[in-house]
Amino acid sequence: MSDLWIVYSSKHDSPNNPASRMLVEALNHQIDAELKFYEYFNIEDNKLYYYDKLINNFPKIVFLRCNHPDFAKFLEDKNVRVINKSNAITVATDKLLAHQAVNELNLPQINGELVKDLSFEEIEAKYGKPFILKDRFGLQGNNIYLIKSKWKYNHVHKKIDTDNYLVQEYISESRGKDVRLYFCGDNLIGSVLRQNNKSFLSNINKGGLAYDFKAPNELIDMARKIKDKIQGEIISVDFVFKGDGFLFCEANTNAGFQSYAYLGYDVRKIFMDYIKSQLN
């Protein structure tokens, strides 16, 4: 029985990919680890199969690098420790639940709500113009729309599931930039400014660039409270700029760390240092 499974989506099932590099880092730490891909698992009658082979022995820890809370819960029910826990994945993956959690902390965040059957006029009266439409389950800056006109709103509204989209206030002073704080266990790995001068989206895969950012203590405290509320173990928390402060934007239990790697952070080593400490 391995001590650790590293589980990625099968889109990473190729040589010299992020999944393989994570496995190499684990092996360099003398961790008895296996790399597996989520899509090749199958659950039947409360039994787990991998490539149709029944699994009888489970690892001590599963490092889940994809957002599948039901799979995490199945493993937890088998007394496997999963990083991140199923409830943390559920809340962070659903931006509506994440904002509800932050609201319970009474911390500043971007104003928003489900689109549902709101008209353009109702949204404009409440949030101004332009405003944002965002897939509540979206990742990597995908399915986010900057709405500047009624025509654009009606065009987008026709093709989305309005029960699964948020309308949000557009924070113009934070156009194309945000701050990400990445935690591993109780430790802050670091804080990064992501900035894109060509788009309202700051994501690295949308053309954003990464810069070191010295987060003020109040921002670190706010991010830590959100991390603890969501119960994230390895988690990023993102904020936009507003005046002389910050507003919560979203959290991610499966965040990429391209921006940190660009700046010289050895994130895989940090992850495996932490996982090895938990195995010991």
- Same domain for 23 and 162, yes or no, is no
Q: What is the CATH number of the domain that holds 145?
A: 3.30.1490
Is the same domain home to 225 and 94?
yes
Query: Are residues 185 and 261 both part of a single domain?
Result: yes
Instruction: For residues 94 and 148, give the distance between their C-alpha atoms in angstroms, rounded to a whole number.
Output: 25
Q: Name the band, by pLDDT with cuts 50, 70 and 90, for residue 13.
A: low
User: Which of 195-217 are b and which e, b meaning 16 or more Cβ less than 10 Å from the residue's Cβ?
Assistant: bbeeebbbbbebebebeebebee
How many domains would you assign to the chain? Answer: 3
d(CA 10, CA 66): 10
- How many CB atoms neighbour CB 228 within 10 A? 13
Domain annotation covers residue 192: yes
In the chain, % of residues over pLDDT 70: 98
Query: Residue 97 — pLDDT band, cuts 50, 70, 90?
Result: very high
Q: Are 202 and 176 in contact (CB under 8 A)?
A: yes
CATH assignment of the domain containing 68: 3.40.50.20
Mean pLDDT of the chain: 95
Residues 11 and 75 occupy one common structural domain: yes
Q: Is residue 99 located within the same domain as residue 76?
A: no
pLDDT of 218 higher than 70: yes
- pLDDT over 90 (residue 170): yes
The C-alpha R_g of the chain, in whole angstroms, comes to 20
User: What is the C-alpha separation between 92 and 233, in angstroms, rounded?
Assistant: 12
pLDDT average, residue stretch 144-155: 96
Q: What confidence tier does 280 reach under pLDDT thresholds 50, 70, 90?
A: confident
- The amino acid present at 252, given as its one-letter code, is N
Tell me the average pLDDT across 274-280: 96
141 band by pLDDT with thresholds 50, 70 and 90: confident
Range of the domain at 61: 4-83
On whether both 180 and 121 belong to a single domain, the answer is no
Whether 156 is covered by a domain: the verdict is: yes
